[in-house]
Structure 1
């Protein structure tokens, strides 16, 4: 089953959701700000994305700039930051099996379908 980690307040996330809706594929929507990741889930997601924790972080978020920017943080510390502050996580993220993409640009989702 396809899963989209979605933030309804984000235009790119809404675009990704619309693409999935029009695809005809069955999928599940996870509102990750209401149902946040734990560390194990984020580690698994990062392995599906095949990226480092730093690559999943939204560096323009105010919380990043005020709390984390310029600090030398380990991967574990970055994962903890995303667990504590899920707004830091790039979106949308679409998972199919053991593969995932960040839907920026939204066309990347098509590659997964």
Structure 2
């Protein structure tokens, strides 16, 4: 089953979710802002997407600009930063059995459905 890491307060995330609904109704929504992010799910995303943790970061967030910009962190440190600050995660992230994508643009989701 497809899982969607979704922030209901984010217009981009809602747009991606709406797009996914036009393709399938067989998915689970994970509100990571309410439930948090585990190291395990972040590592699963990284494994299935071939992305680096820094590529999952929303660099336009104020927290990033104030505290993280122009700093060098290793992968484990970025993962920890994401678990402590889930708002920094790009969204939506759609996770399939073998692949995960950032749903920006929403058409990225097509490779999973």
Q: For this structure pair, what is the TM-score category when the shorter chain's length is used for normalisation?
A: over 0.9
Q: Please state which structure has a larger fraction of its residues in helix.
A: 2
Number of the residue aligned with 2:85: 85
| Unmatched 5+ stretches in structure 1 | none
- Please state if 1:27 is matched with 2:27: yes
Q: C-alpha separation between the residues in 2 aligned to 1:41 and 1:108?
A: 19
Q: Distance in 1 between matches of 2:24 and 2:89?
A: 27
Distance 1:74 1:24 in 2: 37
Aligned to 2:66: 66
Q: In the alignment, which residue of structure 1 is the partner of 2:6?
A: 6
Aligned residues: 113
TM-score, scaled to structure 2: 0.94
Distance in 1, matches of 2:33 and 2:49, equals: 19
Runs of 4+ residues over 6 Å off in structure 1: none
Structure 2 SS opposite 1:19: helix
Find the aligned partners of 2:41 and 2:101 in 1 and give their Cα distance. Answer: 15
Paired residue for 1:109?
Answer: 109
Moved more, 50-59 or 23-32: 23-32
- Over the residues paired in the alignment, what is the CA RMSD in angstroms? 1.1
